[in-house]
Chains A and B, each alone.
Chain A
């Protein structure tokens, strides 16, 4: 095993060297970095040319210049070799500094988007696989193909127009026109009728109930101008919490395990009490205090699950902890919502909270909740566009994987020995369906750091993709090389991790030692 890893790493090193050499030559021959100075009429033209030539070693032929660059870059990986040096950009900024601001920005943009896309994609894929050839399956298949065929920048421009500008205009009055209420209600009825399948009678009842409920909620939201002063309040938190408790119990233990259900419900009760206790405390809290609170809450949930026990303690613990996580999330969301009005009426925001570009409002100061809202409003549109386009492949992939597993002999065996369908699906099928997904997820996390070039460009997000793109456009080799080498290394490492994970998860696959 160890020798396999070492061999892979050595091979990867040579691959990286070769790839970086080719990239360097490509970018060096893609144009003349002095062109913009040459075409200018500045009196100090010759001097500027000389400065830039000296700065970027332009008098050295590209093939040799690569080795100059490599000499600096090697210091980043070899310990004790001195200062890490990836060269400077055309603006004479060290590339290492540019990378150290770009990498966190990209991670901030892509972490949430990737995680959400994976979670939703896998969930939808599994559900459609369990309902193969149903209306839901066909609808989801069509929609995922549609998303798959959308150019990201096209989606982004539409989102900017309707998600940001349109929504901000709507916020001015915050009343929903009756036509929109009707359309949304019918749509929601339709979605629920497709999701909850059954006889036509059952479907029409679902349709009517869902449409009516949506209409009522929308009318309420519109009448109270909820979107201007949003909040959840203890009632919504309690009701959603109970729903979560049932959901997580169904998922982890099955409703027949009453102890698990009760421990989840106790957690909801504790959560609602915590909501009232925390109301005066939350506004002064920061990020780490919240993390601490979450840990405490999960510990309490563990204890509740542990002492409620039941014939399978871990089931109670799991459903209690999941419920607690959900309720904690709701309480935090509620607190953010309470700060919404303060944020949107901030003089820098001027009542238009959803921005179309950038990653934060410069000069905005405020506590954790205000700056948090600022980050979220900036991230929401890029996140949606990334989720929309990457959801499709996860959905298709997990559906295929789940379908394959559901046809396996061991699933039939599990059914034959009388296990409930829930146990068969969650324990026997789902876990095995996740194995091939692990490979893809590893690849995608590896590719994440490279940034979403187009998305970052559309939303003027100063991340890795943007650094890369401006480098290419200005024929600036060093930042391009910096990005390429970082993405290259992550790609190689995660490739290796994916293979190792696969052989660890699936004993039938062994790496060639």
Chain B
């Protein structure tokens, strides 16, 4: 394997790992990653299910001014039929009037769940994009420039880690109505969850900046900006992609948890977490109000996690070695680095289920 991939596992003191070259000669990095990703069954299923959910959520009730094919909107309050029981039938498949049932005032649960899924997915993507952008920028600058820049930026990162995200969410919840609601919440959540990304990117940059191709680029007269964005960043894309997926899956849980305690999405907006929290008292009488939004959270989150796992397998050259074991291939493994991208990506998401305190 050539340089772009093999440097991923020597973030800190580990020496470079030579890879058997004949295995993948002639393929670009993108092709290799794509091929390995498509070999990961869980990830492929995950991405297909996720797209189906997305299509269902967007096409059924439409997006913004565009109408969808479903007859009710999440704001309508039609008369309650049959005690609000769900009419969905699997065999033979039949949606009925209110497939997911109706809530106390008669709103159609299907439309509300779809709307909640839209909002939750939107928040997830915005958080992912914002956090990735900020994290990459801060991590790249501190890893590349070292010295004072690094010290200041990393102490700043440590500080943000300590600030509980619940506080930030509380401030937003109180003022989100004037400021654009869900969008603002999502951007702000992104602004407090970039810390793990920054640390990982910094770790990657610290090793990448010492490599020959950086010296070559500098000798050729490239500016710092060009070296960072054109030469080093593409080499760190594996860590970044994997971590962004994990960020997204934790973002969707953070948002639902915040909405659950009343500090996330505020009425009249709805999200999946808010639907559950609104309806948990009715669990004994109307369990469907509770099951469907929860099921969608789990499905979305599961898909994103599987996609992340597939990406990690695809990007991480170390994963390959264990498969090589069967072919009696080269098994050399670098010593465990202190901040290995895989491990940190895993750990970075471990706190995801409980938002808030550090």
Contact = CB atoms under 8 A, between A and B. Distances in A.
Interface of A: 11-12, 14-16, 18-19, 22-23, 26-27, 29-31, 132, 141-142, 145-146, 148-154, 157, 161, 389-390, 393, 396-397, 400-401, 403-405, 407-409, 412, 435-436, 439-440, 443-444, 447, 450-455, 457, 464-465, 468-469, 472-473, 480, 483-484, 487-488, 491-492, 502, 506, 508-509
Chain B interface SS verdict (over half) = helix
A149 B249 contact: yes
Contacts of A450: 164, 356-358
Chain A interface SS verdict (over half) = helix
A292 B132 CA distance: 54
A454 B322 contact: no
A453 B261 contact: yes
Contact of A30 (B12, B155, B171, B356): B171
Given A22-B159, A151-B260, A469-B261, A484 B167 contact: yes
B333 to A, nearest CB: 5
Given A145-B306, A453-B354, A484-B164, A151 B253 contact: yes
Interface residues of B, number: 66
Nearest to B299: A149
Given A26-B171, A453-B166, 17 more contacts: A15-B162, A29-B171, A30-B167, A31-B174, A148-B353, A151-B273, A151-B297, A154-B298, A439-B347, A453-B356, A454-B354, A468-B164, A484-B162, A484-B357, A488-B162, A491-B162, A509-B13
Given A145-B306, A403-B322, A454-B260, A27 B336 contact: no
Contacts of B338: 502, 509
Interface string B243-261: 0000001000100110011
A29 B170 CA distance: 10
B174 A153 contact: no
Contacts of A400: 342-343, 346
Nearest to A24: B167
B314 to A, nearest CB: 15
B38 interface: no
Contacts of A12: 158
A153 B276 contact: yes
Contacts of B357: 447, 450-451, 453, 464-465, 468, 483-484, 487
A182 B347 CA distance: 40
A23 B163 contact: yes
B344 to A, nearest CB: 10
A440 B263 CA distance: 29
Contact of B284 (A161, A440, A443): A161
7 contacts: A23-B164, A132-B322, A145-B306, A153-B260, A157-B283, A409-B332, A506-B336
Contact of B167 (A396, A439, A472, A492): A472
B159 A397 contact: no
Contacts of A153: 256-257, 260, 276-277, 280
B163 A19 contact: yes
A484 B170 CA distance: 14
Given A23-B164, A161-B284, A148 B305 contact: yes
B331 interface: yes
A30 B159 contact: no
B167 A390 contact: no
Contact of A16 (B162, B263, B333): B162
Contacts of B253: 149, 151
Nearest to A30: B171
Contacts of A401: 336, 343
Given A161-B283, A440-B350, A23 B257 contact: no
B59 interface: no
Contact of B155 (A11, A452, A469, A502): A11
B336 A491 contact: no
Contacts of B256: 151, 153
Which 5 pairs of residues, A with B, have the shortest CB-CB distance? A450-B357, A149-B301, A393-B350, A19-B162, A30-B171
A153 B12 CA distance: 39
A444 B171 CA distance: 26
Q: Which of B167, B249, B257, B355 has the most CB of A within 10 A?
A: B167
Given A19-B162, A157-B283, A436 B167 contact: no
A23 B167 contact: yes
B231 interface: no
Nearest to B255: A151
A432 to B, nearest CB: 8
A16 B161 CA distance: 11
Contacts of A453: 166, 261, 354-357
A145 B302 contact: yes
B87 interface: no
Nearest to A157: B280
Nearest to A28: B171
A154 B294 contact: yes
A452 B354 contact: yes
Interface in B62-117: none
B255 to A, nearest CB: 10
B57 to A, nearest CB: 17
Interface string B148-184: 0000000100111111101110110011000000000
B262 interface: yes
Nearest to B169: A472
A451 B351 CA distance: 12
